[in-house]
Amino acid sequence: MCNDIRGRENLVSFFKRFNTYIKPYAGVLVLAVFTMLCVDIIAYMIPLCIGYITDHIFPFMHTPGMIQKLLIICGVLMLAGIIRGIVSHVMIRSYWHVGEVVVRDLRNGLYEKLQHLDLAFYDQARTGDLMSRVTTDILLIRDFFAFGIEHRLRIILITLTIFVLMLMQEWRLALAVYGLIPFLYLVVVSFSKKMRKAVTKKQKQMGIMTARVQENITGIRIVKAFAMENKEIETFHSENKKMLEREIKMSLLQVDLNSILLLTNGAGSLIILLFGGYLVITSQLTLGVLFAFIAYLGLMGFPINMLAFNTSLINLALGAGDRIWEILQCADQQQINRNTLQIPLRGKIAFRQVSFGYQEHVPVLKDLNFTIQPGEKVALFGLTGAGKSTLISLIPRFYLPGTGRIEIDDRDISDWELGFLRSRIGIVQQETFLFSSSIKENIAFGKPGTSLEEIQRVARLAHIDEFINGLPLGYDTLVGEYGIGLSGGQKQRVAIARTLLQDPALLILDDCTSSLDTITERKIQAQLQELMKGRTTIIIAQRISTLDLAERIIVLDRGTIQDIDTHPGLMKRNKLYRKTYEHQLAHLHNNGY
Ligand SMILES: Nc1ncnc2c1ncn2[C@@H]1O[C@H](COP(=O)(O)OP(=O)(O)O)[C@@H](O)[C@H]1O
Ligand SMILES: [Mg+2]
């Protein structure tokens, strides 16, 4: 990711980081905490009543009116029980509500962020890993709000209240029982640290696994073509085994902590029986108070049983918070794009001493200088890896140049409002991506809500209209992953129609015919010419026949401009160009064209 911020999160920083997501629901969270207090206060009445009944009713069982007294106390307890049920309902709903809405907002926030992050971010990130953050990690945050906080607060609250109640009734016994707490604290802190490490590893592994599944499914055709299914299965099994090991490690930590906590609880009971029993026998304590202490210890069951699970849950959420924050804190285009220039684009492009590299110290483009006039058609020619695609990706500001200056209509490229600039640049790529929706929606991707007539008009210009009309559902036919498959030429025509609809001032054709056969390419050239009419155009092509569409040709060699001239000029002067031309010509003759 953009900055590494591994594992520095604690509860305080967690709340600080996600403050904007939590704040709107602070009211509900307060209600949740308040109802939680009510639920627990009612619970403490039970040991108090047991103590009272033992000391003040049972010893006077022959005095009249005692049955009534007992009935009244039980009646009050029953009423309290009903109220507790209702309040507890409100409490649980409030916590869950907070969990669900915070996660909804967080998911939206993440998705928005992912839309705005630039391509440099995606160059480093693995799709599957991102998916696992948006899905699995987010759910852990929900659990944190839905019951993680509740449990943690109740654990602290119950433990403290019982301590105070015990202190008020018999301080010596209270201190004896609570003497174990500092020890417990140390144990929990040490387990937390271990869990945190285990969680980070586990979540990371989850990301790796999701990425594997995603990449395998995307590349399933290649896997099958190379008969690599078994190898893929093997690799997955081994990753999954690692996942299991990490899960087990995490569960073991939780189980170990749980056992230590239960032992401590047992020790507590022993202390009460032994020391409390001694105090009763030596008449320093009433039987009622002893019973109340035993009942308190019963109430301590919740914190003791929950602490291990809760510690693990909170550490999972903190780990997930780290992974989500890693994405959220990346600088995005919205933050970088503060400029607002939005004036009609004529389409002049100038590169002035532009250098660029994806990684520092690895230049891909070196000191480029050229100017393209409005409406001019220029081709980029160069061997694979020369940097052609990189060069054109600087124009819509997919990447920022390392040094030098790019100007569009004599204005620095960063003066333009980014969304506006991109909407005025049309790019037809080598591979056309079709979304899983109707062919109509695919053509109108950049302009939702376009009328069918308009879509049909551009489809006719792109010569795909006839084909679409022959489809079972016409323009409503589903394409993309779930729909019918289109051939390379058909996809390219959809892309051309899409770009015609966008009506850009500046057109970039990145090797968009290289995946087509020569005949289809020739057929498509007419549509390309239609598309290029009146627009500044940069054409990248391997085939000289496509370069014919251009007025001037820039020869790019390993990131530097070797030559800029017309076709005849280059034929005369440029060796690389002439050799490629002659080679291709010979190839065409051999194939009978
Ligand atoms: N996203 C990327 N991250 C890192 N290096 C890249 C990236 N895209 C391309 N490159 C490298 O930049 C160089 C130029 O690539 P490219 O512009 O795609 O060449 P061309 O389009 O001329 O074939 C190559 O060495 C390639 O490996
Ligand atoms: Mg390329």
309 in the same domain as 363: no
Q: Kindly state whether residue 6 falls inside one of the protein's structural domains.
A: no
Which atom of ligand 1 approaches the CA of 540 most closely? 21
Give the Cα separation of 561 and 366 in Å (integer): 8
393 in the same domain as 331: no
Q: Tens digits of per-residue pLDDT, 92-122?
A: 999 999 999 999 999 999 999 999 888 888 9
Distance 12 CA to ligand 1 centre (A): 43
Ligand nearest to the CA of 364: 1
Give the Cα separation of 382 and 563 in Å (integer): 11
**Pocket of ligand 1, candidates 364, 539, 580: which has the most ligand atoms within 8 Å of its Cβ, to mutate?**
364
Query: Whose alpha carbon is nearest atom 4 of ligand 1?
Result: 358
308 in the same domain as 417: no
Query: Whose alpha carbon is nearest atom 18 of ligand 1?
Result: 389
309 in the same domain as 401: no
Cα angle value 32/35/40 (rounded, 5°): 120
Query: Whose alpha carbon is nearest atom 16 of ligand 1?
Result: 387
Q: Determine the pLDDT at residue 419.
A: 87
353 in the same domain as 329: no
Q: Of 284, 301, 335, which residue constitutes the final position of a domain?
A: 335
Ligand nearest to the CA of 388: 1
Q: CATH number of the domain at 322, please.
A: 1.20.1560.10
Question: Which of helix, strand or coil describes residue 561?
Answer: strand
370 in the same domain as 257: no
Mean of pLDDT over the chain: 88
Q: Tens digits of per-residue pLDDT, 332-383?
A: 766 666 778 888 989 999 999 999 999 888 999 999 999 999 999 999 998 8
67 in the same domain as 172: yes
Q: Kindly state whether residue 545 falls inside one of the protein's structural domains.
A: yes
Which atom of ligand 1 approaches the CA of 384 most closely? 23
178 in the same domain as 106: yes
Among 328, 312, 54, 49, smallest CA distance to 195 is for: 312
Q: Determine the pLDDT at residue 369.
A: 96
Distance 381 CA to ligand 2 centre (A): 10
280 in the same domain as 359: no
Q: Which residue range is the domain that position 219 belongs to? A: 11-335
Query: Which tokens is 204 given?
Result: 């990371």
Distance 211 CA to ligand 1 centre (A): 23
Distance 304 CA to ligand 1 centre (A): 58
Q: Determine the pLDDT at residue 553.
A: 93
CA end-to-end distance (rounded Å), the chain: 51
Which atom of ligand 1 approaches the CA of 510 most closely? 21
Give the Cα separation of 407 and 90 in Å (integer): 61
258 in the same domain as 180: yes
Q: Of 304, 335, 366, which residue constitutes the final position of a domain?
A: 335
Q: Kindly state whether residue 429 falls inside one of the protein's structural domains.
A: yes
Q: Tens digits of per-residue pLDDT, 393-421?
A: 999 999 989 899 999 999 999 899 988 99
Identify which has the larger pLDDT, 391 or 62.
Answer: 391
Q: Kindly state whether residue 138 falls inside one of the protein's structural domains.
A: yes
Query: Whose alpha carbon is nearest atom 25 of ligand 1?
Result: 385
Give the Cα separation of 207 and 168 in Å (integer): 52
Q: Tens digits of per-residue pLDDT, 189-242?
A: 899 889 989 988 998 999 899 989 989 998 998 999 989 999 999 999 999 999
Q: Tens digits of per-residue pLDDT, 285-319?
A: 898 889 888 888 888 888 888 888 899 899 999 99
Amino acid identity, position 150: E
Q: Kindly state whether residue 3 falls inside one of the protein's structural domains.
A: no
Cα angle value 343/348/350 (rounded, 5°): 120
Residues with CB under 5 A from ligand 2 (ion): 389
Among 309, 308, 301, 310, smallest CA distance to 269 is for: 301
DSSP run (H or E) holding 187:
helix 181-218
Q: Determine the pLDDT at residue 8.
A: 59
Distance 346 CA to ligand 1 centre (A): 29
Q: CATH number of the domain at 408, please.
A: 3.40.50.300
Which atom of ligand 1 approaches the CA of 119 most closely? 1
Which atom of ligand 1 approaches the CA of 383 most closely? 22
Q: Kindly state whether residue 1 falls inside one of the protein's structural domains.
A: no
Distance 510 CA to ligand 2 centre (A): 7
Give the Cα separation of 558 and 391 in Å (integer): 12
305 in the same domain as 234: yes
Confidence of residue 459 (pLDDT cuts 50, 70, 90): very high
**Pocket of ligand 1, candidates 384, 390, 392: which has the most ligand atoms within 8 Å of its Cβ, to mutate?**
390
Q: Determine the pLDDT at residue 590.
A: 65
Q: Tens digits of per-residue pLDDT, 424-448?
A: 999 988 888 888 889 999 999 988 8
Whether the pLDDT of residue 46 is over 80: the answer is no
Q: Determine the pLDDT at residue 482.
A: 67
Q: Determine the pLDDT at residue 528.
A: 82
Among 473, 406, 471, 475, smallest CA distance to 439 is for: 475
**Pocket of ligand 1, candidates 118, 124, 358: which has the most ligand atoms within 8 Å of its Cβ, to mutate?**
358
Pocket of ligand 1 (CB under 6 A): 123, 358, 364, 382, 384-390
Task: Average the pLDDT over 484-499 and give the result.
Answer: 87
Give the Cα separation of 542 and 556 in Å (integer): 12
401 in the same domain as 309: no
Give the Cα separation of 543 and 521 in Å (integer): 10
Q: Of 301, 335, 369, which residue constitutes the final position of a domain?
A: 335
Q: Could you give the number of structural domains in the chain? A: 2
Q: Kindly state whether residue 561 falls inside one of the protein's structural domains.
A: yes
Task: Average the pLDDT over 38-55 and give the result.
Answer: 82
Q: Kindly state whether residue 4 falls inside one of the protein's structural domains.
A: no
